[in-house]
Amino acid sequence: MVKRIMQINNKFIKENEGGIIGIILILFLIGMTFYALFLIPTQLRLHWNDPLYWSNNPRDAAPSWINYFLKLFNYQLPEHKIFYQKDALRNYINYIEFKQQNNTFSYKFNFNEFPSAIDIPYTIIVGKIPPVIDIYIKRPDNLEFEIYSNSLDSNNIKPITNGNDTNNNTLNHNILSSNTVSGRIYSSSQEVKNALNNYSNLFKFSIANLSPEKIIFSETNSNKPLTGKYEIIFSIYSFDSNTILKDLNIIIQGKVFGLLGTDELRRDVFFGILIGTPVDLFIGVTVAISSTFIGLFYGLIAGYKERKIGTFMLLIIDIFLTLPSLILLIIISLHFGRNLLFLIGLFILFGWPGLALLNRTFSIQIKNYQYVQASKLMGESDLKIVLRHIVPQLLPFTLANFALAVPAAILGESALSFLGLGDPSFPTWGQMLQDAHTSSAETLGYWWWIVSPGFMISITSVTFILLGRSSEKFFKMDKKR
Amino acid sequence: MKVFFFFLLKKIIILFIVLLITLFITIFLLSSTFDQIMKDSIRTQVIESISSAISKNSNIHQFKNSDERQKFIDQQIKLQSQSFGLDEPWYSPKKIFNNVLKIITLDLGKSRFATTFNGSSSVNDLILEKMPYTILLFTSSSITIIIISLFFGAYLASKEGKIMDKFISGLASISQGVPTWWFSMIMIVFFSFYLRVLPSGSTPLIPPNGSGYTADLLYHMTLPFITLVIIGFAPSVYYVKYIISRILNEDFIKTLKIMGIPQKSILYKHALKNAGPQLTTMFGLGLAGTLGGSVLVEQVFDWPGMGNLFYNAIFQSDSPLIIGLVYFFALIYLLTRLILDVCFTYFDPRIRSEES
């Protein structure tokens, strides 16, 4: 007995390689869905379209694992590095008229390309007199560049209201007239460029048209990255005792980041893929369930009913099947806006007729079986016959149809999203691809931004196609036995 | 023959109903802009007719001043608008009839933004200029796919269960799940960013009347063409194999084998011939399908066809162009279906008898 089951199992596995792969893939997708739904807080998901939230990430960075491959060629892309205030070496120098506070960050740079930028966000509590900020960079070749020197712009100073930031309240008790200034120094700003122009005589090439990070990290002989230990010194010259550095980061924008890189708006592509999974699966499964259900019952009734009603129902199926669905979908969603549920409704509207036609054919066949005819003669009601005798016969077949209807919905949704007609409050893979296309990622070679969402779309579709095909095969085998 | 005629008539009626439904939806959704188009065209007509009347017979229509002329023009416009039912709501039968009549007689108005190479902004001219490009790309790739799949599919049918057969059926599953437009983006990254052998944008750089235009066009067509063939050939081969292997199991083939007719001759002569009707339908449906899906692929490759025109029309909300293109797309799609249905019923009489 056991041997026989084993034999059947072996045969099943051999003939259903596709199905096995399908099951593994669907488990993987379900896992991703659960992770995205339960381990990512909703609050975080809403940040997808908020550019401020992503401002500490690098722009257009490749996945970080490509450095492992580049190691084979002795080539490394700069990694993303964020220094926090606690990483700094601090020292204070007191002069008679002012106080100097140095925050020194040491940065080991050993990559073969320049980083893409340096950002320095800071928050300073300012007393009566605005302090002066100075940023120096000490290079491995002992050159020292002053890249920024400015007094805090008094226009930026905003007084803190009590309700604004609760953490500050304790501090504010002692300091009567205090303001906080939050700012961000970009290496691409004109001030930094001007400051670096003073050092043009140190370089043996023209630095006029180079962006600052390509000067700061460059060798003096040729424009190549200079590896070694850098020191970034952020100094504050304060003229009263109330000036306090509250927060400081040094962000060296890398060219590799995270598992799947980042996009033009600095968003983490992996995060987008994750939060897109439940949405895409929801669209696919909802549309497939609804349209198989409608298709099943519509087809059954159309096949079961005689003459006029049946013909009329078939006519409606014919009309729906002939409609140019993609074009109508575009026109309708263009007019009625981008609501996820509305889109799902549209897909159901165009999804059921094909299934209805298939089910109709089967229904006609089963209707003529003797036992159905017999129960009809016994006076059973039409509804009972359909539910009791025809539906159970069609269930396995319907299951296969359901699996094959999922990819159609997912591919349709991604196509509409790619045309910019998706629901922006629910990021999907198609919308990510649309973003990539509108920022012409293909011609700029940002493959990670294109490959991953499309790969997920394909994987999901292929999963359901494999499941559908093998369940068809399985039920055929079942029948034979 | 009578049955066939009735069947044909029924199909034509269904297709006509579908065309009307599509047009109604489009007109309903874009009705306010559609009214504006009509009003504009009436205005230009009135002004043109008055100025031509004045130039022909300078004594009759002389206005004392521009105010009087304006008044006359306004009055004429109002009269004509009323005659077309433009002052009535969208559901008035008169207006709907007029709108549909206008579209069906190809009076599609002028595009707001797009112009042809010659500078004409008439929707008809625009569509006529772009249509050959779409047909060129999609028919050439479809024909290539058909040729590949006929030979390869027939070959695979004789080798059922081998590794190659399994590989193709797996590849068919995958290519059905992969969005063509995404694959196009990947191809652009690979061929024009990394290898730098083919251009990423497919609009030819040489103007249509310049020398060397054809060569440039073909050069720019290479990447979309390759992409469409790669993504399309596996499912096609798989289906051809499926159809032919079913025919190979039929009795007459077995008889031919016993008669000692060589395997090759059986495969390519008898089996393929018998698969004719089914194959025709399949390829025809495929062709109709690619024309509908062309919007995204043309947009990704920036191919100067109708799909790209449609995409741009949507984003500039160029309603006259949208309506015109929807009409054309629907027309092409429905005509293909009609031809297919006719072919299918002509080849396979079983369908007719079942339907009637």
Nearest to A243 by CA among A381, A364, A132: A132
Per-residue model confidence (pLDDT) at position A281:
93
From first to last of the 481 residues of chain A, give the pLDDT tens digit.
566 666 666 666 666 778 888 999 999 999 999 999 888 888 888 888 888 888 888 988 999 899 999 989 888 899 998 999 888 888 888 888 888 888 999 888 889 889 988 888 888 888 777 888 888 888 888 888 888 888 876 544 444 444 444 444 434 333 444 577 788 888 888 888 888 888 888 888 888 888 888 888 888 888 888 888 998 999 888 887 777 888 888 899 889 998 999 998 899 999 999 999 999 999 999 999 999 999 998 988 888 776 788 888 888 887 887 777 777 888 888 777 778 898 899 899 988 988 888 888 888 878 778 888 888 888 888 788 888 878 887 888 888 888 889 998 999 899 989 888 888 888 899 999 999 998 888 888 899 999 999 999 999 999 999 898 888 777 766 555 4
Please tell me the distance from the alpha carbon of residue A435 to that of residue A441, in angstroms, as a whole number: 9
Please indicate whether, in this complex, the C-beta atoms of A450 and B174 are within 8 angstroms of each other: no
Instruction: Give kind and range of the element (H or E) at residue A469.
Output: helix A447-480
Per-residue model confidence (pLDDT) at position B57:
64
The tokens for B268 are 């390519």
Q: Which of B103, B182, B238 to mutate to test the interface with A (most CBs of A within 10 A)?
A: B182
B178: which chain A residues are within 8 Å (Cβ-Cβ)?
454, 457-458, 461-462
Task: Specify the higher pLDDT residue, B19 or B353.
Answer: B19
Please tell me the distance from the alpha carbon of residue B295 to that of residue B287, in angstroms, as a whole number: 14
Q: Write the CB contacts of B6 (distance below 8 Å, at least 6 apart in sequence).
A: B356
Residues B328 and B127 sit within 8 Å (Cβ to Cβ): yes
Of B21, B179, B200, the CB nearest to A411: B179
Of A322, A447, A461, the CB nearest to B177: A461
Nearest to B28 by CA among B89, B74, B118: B89
For residue B214, the distance in angstroms to the closest alpha carbon of chain A comes to 24
B181: which chain A residues are within 8 Å (Cβ-Cβ)?
415, 418
Please tell me the distance from the alpha carbon of residue B172 to that of residue B340, in angstroms, as a whole number: 24
Of A319, A436, A462, the CB nearest to B177: A462
Q: Write the CB contacts of A309 (distance below 8 Å, at least 6 apart in sequence).
A: A302
Per-residue model confidence (pLDDT) at position A299:
87
B16: which chain A residues are within 8 Å (Cβ-Cβ)?
none
The strands making up A99-109's β-sheet, listed across from edge to edge, are: A89-94, A99-109, A228-238, A132-138, A144-151
Chain A interface includes B356 (CB < 8 A): no
At residue B248's C-alpha, the angle toward residues B244 and B251, to 5°, is 140
**Contacts by B111-118, CB closer than 8 A, 24 or more apart:** B111/B313, B111/B318, B111/B320, B111/B321, B112/B316, B112/B318, B112/B319, B112/B320, B112/B321, B113/B312, B113/B316, B113/B318, B114/B309, B114/B312, B114/B313, B114/B316, B114/B318, B114/B321, B117/B207, B117/B208
Per-residue model confidence (pLDDT) at position B187:
93
How long a stretch of residues is chain B? 356
In chain B, residues 28-67 whose CB comes closer than 8 Å to chain A: 29-30
A331: which chain B residues are within 8 Å (Cβ-Cβ)?
25-26, 29-30, 322, 326
Q: CB A139: neighbour CB atoms within 10 A?
A: 19
Please indicate whether, in this complex, the C-beta atoms of A454 and B293 are within 8 angstroms of each other: no
The tokens for A440 are 């012409």
Could you read off the pLDDT of B139-165 as tens digits, one per residue?
888 889 989 998 888 888 887 778 888
Helices (runs of H) and strands (runs of E) counted in chain A: 17, 11
Phi, psi of B343 (to 5 degrees): -60, -45
CA distances from A294 to A317, A344, A361 (A): 12, 14, 15
Please tell me the distance from the alpha carbon of residue A134 to that of residue A379, in angstroms, as a whole number: 95
Please tell me the distance from the alpha carbon of residue B156 to that of residue A21, in angstroms, as a whole number: 24
Could you read off the pLDDT of B3-55 as tens digits, one per residue?
778 878 887 888 888 888 888 877 777 766 666 666 777 777 787 777 777 66
Per-residue model confidence (pLDDT) at position B1:
66
H-assigned helices in B89-212? 93-104, 123-157, 163-177, 180-188
Chain A interface includes B256 (CB < 8 A): no
Helices (runs of H) and strands (runs of E) counted in chain B: 15, 0
Per-residue model confidence (pLDDT) at position A10:
67
DSSP structure class, residue B95: H
H-assigned helices in B57-111? 66-84, 93-104
Average model confidence (pLDDT) across chain B: 80
Please indicate whether, in this complex, the C-beta atoms of A450 and B185 are within 8 angstroms of each other: yes
Please tell me the distance from the alpha carbon of residue A192 to that of residue A189, in angstroms, as a whole number: 6
Task: Say which amino acid occupies A241.
Answer: S
Task: Say which amino acid occupies A158.
Answer: K
Which residues face A104 on adjacent strands?
Answer: A89, A233
| B292: pLDDT strictly greater than 70 | no
Phi, psi of B345 (to 5 degrees): -70, -35
Please indicate whether, in this complex, the C-beta atoms of A462 and B26 are within 8 angstroms of each other: no
For residue B265, the distance in angstroms to the closest alpha carbon of chain A comes to 32
Per-residue model confidence (pLDDT) at position B56:
66
A459: which chain B residues are within 8 Å (Cβ-Cβ)?
177
Residues A284 and A409 sit within 8 Å (Cβ to Cβ): yes
The tokens for B250 are 């039929």
Please indicate whether, in this complex, the C-beta atoms of B293 and A407 are within 8 angstroms of each other: no
Nearest to A437 by CA among A418, A423, A416, A453: A418
Interface predicted TM-score of the whole assembly (ipTM), two decimals: 0.83
pTM over 0.90: no
Residues B282 and B344 sit within 8 Å (Cβ to Cβ): no
- Nearest residue of A to residue B167, measured between CA atoms: A18
